[in-house]
A and B are shown apart, each in its own frame.
Chain A
Amino acid sequence: MTSGDGFATYLFLLAAGFGATAPWRFVGVVLARNLDIDSELLNWVRAVSTALVAGLVARMVFFPVGALAGVGIALRLGAFGCGLLVFFAARKNLAAGVAAGIAVLLAGQYLI
């Protein structure tokens, strides 16, 4: 399927990509129609979304894909922990936390 760069391949990508993704967003728009910003239902949906993204984060750290899978779990968790620590030490500075985490991960790979 990937061999050609013709119209058919783009159609396949559109169907399997956009066609499989967009409906969820569209249904979301429709379901949100009567939801008020301050409603209890929205609080629940936000909690569901938050837990879902947190689960995604844990999956990426504990069951990584690609090159990250080649990095040991100890270094992955260590870098993650350092990022968290620096984030809080720097009064919830996002850039500082991310930079610290990535620095530990890179340094760990080159030094250990």
Chain B
Amino acid sequence: MPASPDSSGRERPGWTEGASRAQAFRRGAAFAPSTPAVVLFATFIGFGALAQATGFSAGQAVFTTLTVWALPGQVVLVDQMAKGAGLAAAAFAVTLTAIRLLPLTVSLMPLLRSSRMPRAVQFLMSHFIAVTVWIEGQRRLPALPEELRAPYFLGMASFFLVLNLIATMIGFLIAGRVPTEIAAGLLFLTPIYFLLSLISSARGPGDLMALVVGFLLGPVLFLAVPGFDLLATGLIGGTAAYLAGKRRRRT
């Protein structure tokens, strides 16, 4: 394997020189001042507040963050519970939001696992895959040596886990006391962070094309096929961008 399998030729960070797996774990966890941490913290405060407003207990809110680990699914679950939906209806609504985790997992796992990693560990690691973790994984992992990626990822995931559970709790406690303007700001953080970090993690024109096509297609398909819009956006937009990028590479 060459120094970096990443075609963008990203520099390997200096700390990886002779680093142990424990050091990689700590590196991944040393996330405190970074932008995704701030954004996640703010969005999970929003989730905690929402859960409180719809009649969840603090324990149920934290339990949902821990077991679902994907914000859109959590919001839908809270909403379904508030409506008094049955188990089948609630599970169906949640699962529609969770389909997007499939391509995210498929594209991140090859970076994470090593050949000898037990399947159980792979399943455990996959529980932490959600959009933010996927973005940060795509951004940070390719430049790391193969054997350090999994510990680094687990360090990162552990940090996010503690952070999100605390944020859920805080949101639950301050619910109803946040001015609307600030609440709107908290909700705005997620899309702007997603977009900018997608741009910064893009490798080449193919990725950028997928980004632009997805952005334009998303709202249209949301109106046309609500519920399946994200999956359709990904499949149609991503395939078009992939084919266009491939053609470009050939010529």
Contacts and interface: CB of A to CB of B under 8 A. Distances in A.
Given A37-B5, A92-B200, A24 B99 contact: yes
Contacts of A29: 105, 109, 119, 122-123, 126
A59 B97 CA distance: 13
B66 to A, nearest CB: 9
Nearest to B195: A57
Contacts of B193: 94, 98
A106 to B, nearest CB: 5
Nearest to B242: A47
A95 B207 contact: no
Nearest to A9: B60
Contacts of B181: 67, 106, 109-110
A63 B197 contact: no
Interface string B219-251: 101100000011101111111011001100000
Given A38-B5, A55-B229, A17 B68 contact: yes
A58 B199 contact: no
B163 interface: no
A110 B60 CA distance: 35
Given A44-B242, A97-B196, A24 B101 contact: yes
A25 B101 contact: yes
B128 to A, nearest CB: 9
Interface string A1-41: 11101000110111111111111111111011001111010
Interface in A77-97: 79-80, 83-84, 87, 92, 94-95, 97
A2 B238 contact: no
A21 B101 contact: yes
A53 B241 contact: no
Given A20-B98, A21-B68, A83 B192 contact: yes
Could you tell me the dominant secondary structure of chain B's interface residues?
helix
Contact of B188 (A1, A53, A68): A68
Given A32-B106, A48-B103, A49-B107, A58 B218 contact: yes
A50 B109 contact: no
Could you tell me the dominant secondary structure of chain A's interface residues?
helix
B2 to A, nearest CB: 10
Contact of B242 (A5, A32, A43, A61): A43
Contacts of A95: 35
A46 B230 CA distance: 14
B157 to A, nearest CB: 13
Contact of A67 (B187, B211, B234): B187
Interface stretch (B14-22, B24-32, B77-85, B168-176): B77-85
A62 to B, nearest CB: 4
Given A32-B113, A54-B210, A55-B237, 17 more contacts: A5-B57, A5-B59, A14-B67, A16-B87, A17-B68, A24-B101, A26-B123, A29-B105, A40-B246, A44-B238, A48-B242, A50-B238, A52-B103, A56-B191, A56-B230, A57-B218, A63-B222
24 contacts: A2-B60, A5-B60, A9-B60, A17-B68, A20-B92, A26-B126, A32-B113, A47-B241, A48-B210, A49-B238, A51-B237, A52-B214, A52-B238, A54-B214, A54-B215, A54-B237, A55-B233, A57-B195, A63-B222, A64-B187, A80-B191, A80-B195, A92-B199, A109-B181
